[in-house]
């Protein structure tokens, strides 16, 4: 009689364990599918970051070229201003000194 009771308890425990294992198996399968999606998303994100990094490098290179061109143009403008200033006739120092002193 006691063996039937022990057998019944063991059978119930086996059924409960089987249900839990089945539920855990389903959960693991679901997590594996999420892992695949997550892996895909991480790979796509890494590709996007690579694109952003490449664009940043290209932008930096373009800005450096633009800076060099603008610097050259500023130097040319300064040279042109200096050349124009050199062509302008300078007023006589005596006329300027007399004007400051109030003499005609």
Number of H helices, E strands in the chain: 2, 0
Write phi, then psi, for 7 (nearest 5 degrees).
-60, -40
Residue 31 in any domain: the answer is yes
Residue 77 in any domain: the answer is yes
Residue 33 in any domain: the answer is yes
Give me the pLDDT at residue 101, please.
Answer: 53
Integer Rg of the chain from CA: 44
Residue 95 in any domain: the answer is no
**Tally of structural domains, the chain:** 1
Residue 70 in any domain: the answer is yes
Report angle CA 13, 18, 20 to the nearest 5 degrees: 95
Residue 37 in any domain: the answer is yes
Q: How far is residue 53's CA from residue 59's CA, in Å, rounded to a whole number?
A: 10
Q: Which of the four pLDDT bands, split at 50, 70 and 90, describes residue 2?
A: confident
Cα dihedral 73, 77, 80, 84 in deg (nearest 10): 170
Residue 74 in any domain: the answer is yes
pLDDT tens column, 52-97: 999 999 999 999 999 999 999 999 999 999 999 888 887 655 555 5
Residue 98 in any domain: the answer is no
What pTM did the predictor assign? 0.47
């Amino acid at each position: 009689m006691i063996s039937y009771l022990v057998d019944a308890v063991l059978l119930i425990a086996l059924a409960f364990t089987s249900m839990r294992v089945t539920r855990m198996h389903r959960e693991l399968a679901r997590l594996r599918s999420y892992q695949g999606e997550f892996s895909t998303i991480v790979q796509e994100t890494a590709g996007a970051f690579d694109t952003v990094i490449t664009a940043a490098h290209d932008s930096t290179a373009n800005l450096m070229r633009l800076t060099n061109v603008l610097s050259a143009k500023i130097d040319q403008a300064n040279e042109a201003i200096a050349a124009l200033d050199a062509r302008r006739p300078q007023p006589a120092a005596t006329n300027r000194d007399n004007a400051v002193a109030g003499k005609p």
